[in-house]
Amino acid sequence: MGPADVLSHSNFVKTSRGQLVHHDLFSPTSHKASEEDHQRLHIEPTHLTADLIRPHFLTETLPAAAVFTDAVASNYAHWLTEVLPRIVLYTRHACSKDIPLIVDEGLHKNIYESLSIAVDENRLVYTIPKDCSTRVRHLEVVTPAGYIPYASRAPRRPGHSHGVFSPHALRAVREAFRHLMIRPADSASGSHIYVRRNARQRRLINDQEISHLLADAGFTIVSPEELSFSEQVRLFSQAEFVIGATGAALANLIFCQPGARVHVLMAQHEEMPYWYWQRLSDCVGVSLSYGLGEICAVRDIGFHADFRVALDAIREALGDFHASHEAQHQRSAP
């Protein structure tokens, strides 16, 4: 692409002719952009026009660069499954040699840690502060390797996307961190972990009860926000059985060994993107199951509401795992 402005924390690129360019999986007529909800962009879907609401301060001009800014890059799951795969594939290709990368400033330290491991230390990486832009004379834009729409544009249409992912791209990410992925000596020795979700939305309100139940069953209770990126990769790569509430930390399942079991706890809701985790796990050969709970909310905030999962449902998941594990052991016995 010729001269263009890279916008911080945005999926859009502004050309020298004032056009806003988006990737081909984004549909302005059916998908709502994150920038719209954050009062940074106005899109008129009927006429396919768009206007930047906030001015972007031009920080510098570069002769050449590849853009990897993203409106949802600050979310660990989106970074791991949408942004980082593009970076890994791009930097592995010979055509990208000596081309600097542009990413957002102000992301979590674990995100930058993953970037520093995946990218050669000699590669230049520029960061753009919020509400700023960088002009690039020759800009390289990499096609998406994974995408889940931020939201559906009103009026809501049936068949809203639950996300699409590239198995090839996710395997490339696994390969980039292969040295951190510790394979157990045998499949029977993998750890069992319960991933706690400490967030303001979609809280599992009986988390303490579930933690006690699973601790008694031999699970290690973990809070991913207390771990570095490398520690999370190692943890999930050694896990044979993972249970956790739907949330960004479970995107680490891409580092699980093929055949590992991941049991996702989530609320029953018509707008819940159930297929998101299934499609992600299918790409890496992980066995996925769901534990569905009931929403507990005094106001309607959709599938982001707090929820409860019955302890009997957790016990049933444990029983299913042990039964399948025993059956597999019997099949493999001489």
Q: Are 10 and 117 within one domain? A: yes
Q: Are 48 and 138 within one domain? A: yes
Nearest one of 121, 122, 250 to 196, comparing CA atoms: 250
Strand 125-128 and strand 101-104: the pairing is: parallel
Q: Are 310 and 251 within one domain? A: yes
Residue 162 lies in a domain: no
The CATH number of whichever domain residue 282 belongs to comes to 3.40.50
Q: Are 145 and 210 within one domain? A: no
Q: Which of 131, 152, 173 is the last residue of a domain?
A: 152
Nearest one of 32, 29, 44, 34 to 9, comparing CA atoms: 34
Q: Are 298 and 200 within one domain? A: yes
- Residue 329: pLDDT above 70? no
pLDDT confidence tier of residue 54, bands split at 50, 70 and 90: confident
pLDDT confidence tier of residue 274, bands split at 50, 70 and 90: confident
**Separation of alpha carbons 93 and 172, rounded Å:** 12
Look at phi and psi of residue 48 and say left if phi exceeds 0, alpha if psi is from -120 to 50, else beta: left
**Separation of alpha carbons 221 and 212, rounded Å:** 9
- The whole-chain average pLDDT of the chain stands at 90
Cβ proximity of 162 and 274 under 8 Å? yes
Q: Which of 111, 137, 152 is the last residue of a domain?
A: 152
pLDDT tens for each residue of 69-86: 999 999 999 999 999 999
**Beta bridge partner(s), residue 138:** 64
Domain extent for 222: 183-332
Residue 164 lies in a domain: no
Q: Are 18 and 132 within one domain? A: yes
Q: Which of 137, 152, 167 is the last residue of a domain?
A: 152
Q: Are 66 and 147 within one domain? A: yes
pLDDT tens for each residue of 185-216: 654 568 999 999 887 778 899 999 999 999 99
Q: Are 143 and 187 within one domain? A: no
Residue 177 lies in a domain: no
Omega before 155 within 30 of 0, i.e. cis: yes
**SS3 assignment, position 62:** strand
Residue 272 lies in a domain: yes
Residue 194 lies in a domain: yes
Q: Are 269 and 198 within one domain? A: yes
Q: Are 234 and 101 within one domain? A: no
What does the radius of gyration of the chain's CA atoms come to, in whole angstroms?
21
Q: Are 22 and 144 within one domain? A: yes
What is the average per-residue pLDDT within 289-303? Answer: 80
Structure tokens at 214: 């699973």
Angle at CA of residue 155, ends 154 and 161, nearest 5°:
75
pTM, whole model, 2 decimals? Answer: 0.91
How many domains in the chain?
A: 2
Residue 161 lies in a domain: no
Q: Are 206 and 265 within one domain? A: yes
Cα–Cα distances in angstroms (integers) from residue 103 to residues 32, 121, 130, 243, 330, in the given order? 22, 15, 11, 32, 50
* Element (DSSP H or E) covering residue 139: strand 132-141
Beta strands in 268-314 (DSSP E): 287-295, 307-308
Cβ proximity of 126 and 62 under 8 Å? yes
pLDDT tens for each residue of 130-152: 999 999 999 999 999 999 998 88
